[in-house]
Amino acid sequence: MTNTGTTTKATTGAEGSATAGSPNTPVEVRNPASGELAGTVVFASREEVAADVAALRAAQPAWEAIGPRGRKEWLLKLQDWVVDNAEELADTIQAESGKTRIDARVEVAFTVDQLGYWARNAAKFLAEQHPAPHTPLMRVKRLATVYKPYAVVGIITPWNFPLGMGIADVVPALAAGAAVMHKPSEVTPLTPLVLARGWAEIGAPPVLSVVSGAGETGAAVIENVDYVQFTGSVPTGRRIGVKCAEQMTPYSLELGGKDPAIVLSDADLDRAAYGIAYGALVNTGQLCISIERVYVEAPVYDEFLAKLVAHVKELRQGRDDRSNSFDLGPLANQAQLDIVTRHVEEAVAAGAKVLTGGKAFGPGTFFEPTVLVDVDHTMSCIVEETFGPTIPVMKVADEAEAIRLANDSIFGLSASVWTGNRSRGQRVARLINAGAVNINDSVINLFNPSIPHGGWGQSGTGYRWGGASGLRKYCRVQAITAPSM
């Protein structure tokens, strides 16, 4: 680790070769919208990761000792830095992901919000608890619950939010008093390095390290840290869970989703069409909680579909840069484009109809926003995570069928219910197997750290956020008893 507290194993100039990821070999990062070189990184070796974690471990006690109020000052300084450098952060996000300006700006705004929330609430959330003795026997005891941070938390993140995905966990872990090693995706490694530079520029203690690399570097992180916070795909998450269990390292897995939306016949159909299009297509559908299947009660099916298709047809897609002219960008890479293309082609081959979109186009890895009908639960577009701009829509007979189909999935990340009847919305929400349900809204749960964000089923184990529990998860809990006199 450098003495600035960050591992800046990347350059953002045009250098290096296109191949390999072995230590000391520069790896290029390219904009998927244009093919332009965004920067290069060098993957960290196992030895470098181990050395960085050792340095973090040495720095952490002082970070813990300044307490939540001392840490608040540094987090708020970083918040100021993010505001001052918002354009550079948004530029870097766009350069490595190709996403639209508005989607990049949302990540920066989210970062500012997270820094403020955890900085301001940490002292309250980490305060010792003094439960009342609940039995006559314990009346003569004083009880305390104490939260002591893990020394080093390892955070491994995917590529869909180059800045936001790391921030969602890095900030609460730092606020809890842990030192953090962050390994972002090898697809989008550049923006976290800009943030790490910011941490160094404000002169903060050396308790944040960002390393570049793919699975091998991630595995080295897991071997060295005291808690693993992983966000990514189900197969990788499963491997990491097994490895953590073998090591007895505590962990939390935030994995994929296949979020259903249920449109009931009493819904405001304009709101439902707009909200579902947004929830399915924001970030070009590359969002763990994006809407990936829609169930509509038969009486309003035709009208809803007409509104949805009309709205989707109005959306603009292209290479945005700073123009703010587009609603959708490209997919992150060719592998992601291949998955989306396969899901649409397989559905069409099995009898589905494309009402709008349906094609890939270039240059760049673009796929049109696509509405599919005549789909069913035998098709990959309904059962597998697509992570792209597709909206498969099914007609259902009634509420009971909608709930049954919504729950017919290995995933359970989040869901939405669209209805004009508040109590019906609340009732249906409680019948859906998912970690979050939005009523008459989509994806809104992602913007509120005071509620938990986690998946049921194969969508993960554990939760991030949820107010106090969002900090306490990065702590070991200690119970202390003492005689009361």
Residues classed as catalytic: 254, 288
Minimum CB separation of residue 167 from ligand NAD in Å reads: 12
282 binds ligand NAD (CB under 6 A): no
The per-type count for the chain, helices as H runs and strands as E runs, is: 15, 24
Q: Which is nearer to ligand NAD, 254 or 399 (CB)?
A: 254
| Most distant CA pair in the chain, distance | 77
Helix residue ranges per DSSP H, 350-452: 380-383, 399-406, 422-429
Nearest C-alpha neighbor of 160 from the set 219, 260, 232, 238: 232
Q: Which is nearer to ligand NAD, 14 or 245 (CB)?
A: 245
32 binds ligand NAD (CB under 6 A): no
460 binds ligand NAD (CB under 6 A): yes
Ranked by CB distance to ligand NAD, the top (closest) residue is 218
Q: Which is nearer to ligand NAD, 194 or 240 (CB)?
A: 240
457 binds ligand NAD (CB under 6 A): no
Structure tokens at 54: 């050792």
User: Contact at 8 Å (CB) between 108 and 442?
Assistant: no
Q: How far apart are CA 408 and CA 295, in angstroms?
A: 12
Among 96, 254, 292, 399, binds ligand NAD (CB under 6 A): 254
Around Cβ 482, how many Cβ atoms within 10 Å?
Answer: 9
Q: How far apart are CA 195 and CA 179, in angstroms?
A: 15
Minimum CB separation of residue 69 from ligand NAD in Å reads: 29
Q: Which is nearer to ligand NAD, 26 or 425 (CB)?
A: 26
Q: Which is nearer to ligand NAD, 369 or 452 (CB)?
A: 452
Strand partners, 460: 254
Amino acid at 153: V
455 binds ligand NAD (CB under 6 A): yes
Around Cβ 135, how many Cβ atoms within 10 Å?
Answer: 7
What is the Cα gyration radius of the chain? 23
Q: Which is nearer to ligand NAD, 44 or 296 (CB)?
A: 44
CA distances from 36 to 107, 163, 273, 321 (A): 22, 20, 35, 12
257 binds ligand NAD (CB under 6 A): yes
Write the binding mask 377 to 396 for ligand NAD: x where contact by CB under 6 A, - elsewhere.
--------x-x---------
* Strand 37-42 with 152-156, pairing: unpaired
Helix residue ranges per DSSP H, 301-439: 301-314, 334-349, 380-383, 399-406, 422-429
226-245 binders of ligand NAD (CB under 6 A):
231-233, 236, 239-240
198 binds ligand NAD (CB under 6 A): no
DSSP 85: T
CA atoms within 13 A on the CB side of 4: 15
93 binds ligand NAD (CB under 6 A): no
Give SS3 for 27.
strand
Minimum CB separation of residue 455 from ligand NAD in Å reads: 6
252 binds ligand NAD (CB under 6 A): no
288 binds ligand NAD (CB under 6 A): yes
186 binds ligand NAD (CB under 6 A): yes
CA distances from 319 to 15, 356, 461 (A): 24, 20, 36
Q: What contacts 42, CB < 8 A, 6 or more positions away?
A: 9, 10, 23, 24, 25, 26, 27, 212
Minimum CB separation of residue 26 from ligand NAD in Å reads: 17
Stretch that binds ligand NAD, among 194-202, 248-256, 272-280, 476-484 (CB under 6 A): 248-256
Minimum CB separation of residue 236 from ligand NAD in Å reads: 3
Minimum CB separation of residue 63 from ligand NAD in Å reads: 24
150-179 binders of ligand NAD (CB under 6 A):
156-160, 165
Q: Which is nearer to ligand NAD, 232 or 357 (CB)?
A: 232
110-129 binders of ligand NAD (CB under 6 A):
none
Minimum CB separation of residue 354 from ligand NAD in Å reads: 24
Number of residues this chain uses to bind ligand NAD (CB under 6 A): 30
Among 85, 121, 185, 229, binds ligand NAD (CB under 6 A): 185
**Torsion over CA of 156, 158, 162 and 163, rounded to 10 degrees?**
-40
H or E stretch including 468? Answer: helix 468-472
Minimum CB separation of residue 232 from ligand NAD in Å reads: 3
Q: Which residues bind ligand NAD (CB under 6 A)?
A: 156-160, 165, 183, 185-186, 214-215, 218-219, 222, 231-233, 236, 239-240, 254-257, 288, 385, 387, 413, 455, 460
